[in-house]
A and B are shown apart, each in its own frame.
Chain A
Amino acid sequence: MKVGVLALQGAFARHVACLRALDAEAVAVRTPEQLAQVDALILPGGESTTMSMLLESSGLFEPVAERLASGMPTLGTCAGMILLGAAILDGRADQRSFGAVDISVRRNAFGRQVDSFEADLDLAELAGGPFHAVFIRAPFVERAGAEVEVLAVVEDHPVLCRQGTVTVAAFHPELSDDLRIHERFLKEMG
């Protein structure tokens, strides 16, 4: 099993390091050829507007959409959550998303950088106590469809969701010294 990390911009190197710490094979994905080589994909944190532009200019938007439609296991964190959702609130008018998870995501919903925070989350299905999560200019989910499982909330806003083979987080598991979310993602891939 080879896990790709979308490496157009953002915290992709931290995801690669997390995967390698778990003995998974991890590669950076910047081209359609590289995407074709992987069995699963992580969309990292970063700027979702920049990534949207680069997904188009790098010829990756359609190939990623096709792989998502065929059930590729995928994890999206922060900007990744925004890109994988069905609707983007407070985004740019021309910003596209994949609609792989039936959620509406509000960008920068917790505020600007001075409001960025760390907090302990109780995660459904995750043994070993609370997960210490880092939220950076983080989004949250304003609407979750019936198919969506909500796995964690902050102030009643969903911040960790799953639909089918796609998991999305508003926070950054790649910035915590806690590999349980990556570990569970690898386990679910089988």
Chain B
Amino acid sequence: MAASQSSHDTGTTSVKRGLAEMLKGGVVMDVVDADQAKIAEDAGAVAVMALERVPSDIRRDGGVARMSDPEMIEGIKEVVTIPVMAKARIGHFVEARVLEALGVDYVDESEVLTPADEAHHIDKWAFTVPFVCGATNLGEALRRVSEGAAMLRSKGEAGTGNIVEAVRHLRSILGDIRKVTQADSAEVYEWAKRLQAPVGLVQEIAETGTLPVPLFCAGGIATPADAALVMQLGAQAVFVGSGIFKSDDPARRGKAIVEATTHFQDAAIVAKVSRGLGSAMPGLEIDGLETKLADRGW
């Protein structure tokens, strides 16, 4: 029998980014109550996002969207064994502290809620709980990493069931990464200026060809084929918001999206799991939206 270890360090960069590594290849599902959380876990979700209203309802209701009631988050924590995430408003570091105190496993500093600060995001290094943040382009992604985000996701356009914005964000982020790797040492500085991102992070991308934290896709996924599409484009996992519980048959659609995310390169499997799922959530055209959530964040 070997001896015991020396000391424990919690809240380190490795453990924060490490949980994001464990969620790769999986599906994080939005849930609004304990029953939905059970359905999500049964369907094979790697985590649930606990919130009071899914994005399509937030969009419909209007008004100020805030952090969820702690009682509701605790109710969800009690019924599932997988990680539980919850959303705080952009810049609302007290909501984030409340979520940390509740023991949620990841905080989403999310544009789906109404921003609390028009200039500043949360200083995420100051927390033990890890953060995921949305991004529409590489500069935004690297600004969030510089503030301590341990996971990134495309913003997409939440609550629309329309994948076009998420595709645009992924292509922008991953396309610029490919271009930065071609830059010489002088051009890297110009890239940093253009992206409004710390030069050290741009240099890291030029050398490694990859973001320092995992990149997931969110915003508009409604079908198994949507999930496989964004995985093929280079997302490492997916968030599904309204797409599951605003569809005809959430249990079946949830499982189908999980299988399509794993077997994203195998069109025969995506075809098999896409059969007979009933109606997907109703979709919205981006041009017809009153509020574009992706414009929130700076």
Binding site for B on A (CB under 8 A): 7-14, 30, 45-47, 49-50, 53-54, 57-58, 78-79, 90-92, 107-108, 112-124, 130, 133-137, 150-156, 172, 175
A76 to B148, CA, bound (A): 30
3 nearest CB pairs, A to B: A113-B105, A116-B15, A119-B5
Known: A54-B258, A90-B81, A92-B81. A154 touches B4 (CB 8 A): yes
Of residues B7, B12, B21, B266, which shows the largest number of chain A Cβ atoms within 10 Å of its Cβ? B21
A172 to B19, CA, bound (A): 11
B196 to chain A, nearest CB (A): 30
B46 and chain A: residue at smallest CB distance: A47
A175 to B20, CA, bound (A): 12
B107 to chain A, nearest CB (A): 10
B9-43 vs A, CB cutoff 8 Å, 1 = contact: the mask equals 11110110011011111100000000000000101
A152 to B2, CA, bound (A): 5
Q: Are B9 and A10 in contact (CB under 8 A)?
A: no
A90 to B269, CA, bound (A): 32
Binding site for A on B (CB under 8 A): 1-12, 14-15, 18-19, 21-26, 41, 43-47, 81-83, 100, 103-106, 128-130, 255, 258-259, 262-263, 266
Q: Are A121 and B258 in contact (CB under 8 A)?
A: no
Of the candidates B7, B25, B103, B258, the one whose C-beta lies within 8 Å of that of A46 is B25
Of the candidates A10, A123, A156, the one whose C-beta lies within 8 Å of that of B24 is A10
Q: Are B18 and A116 in contact (CB under 8 A)?
A: yes
Q: Are A123 and B25 in contact (CB under 8 A)?
A: no
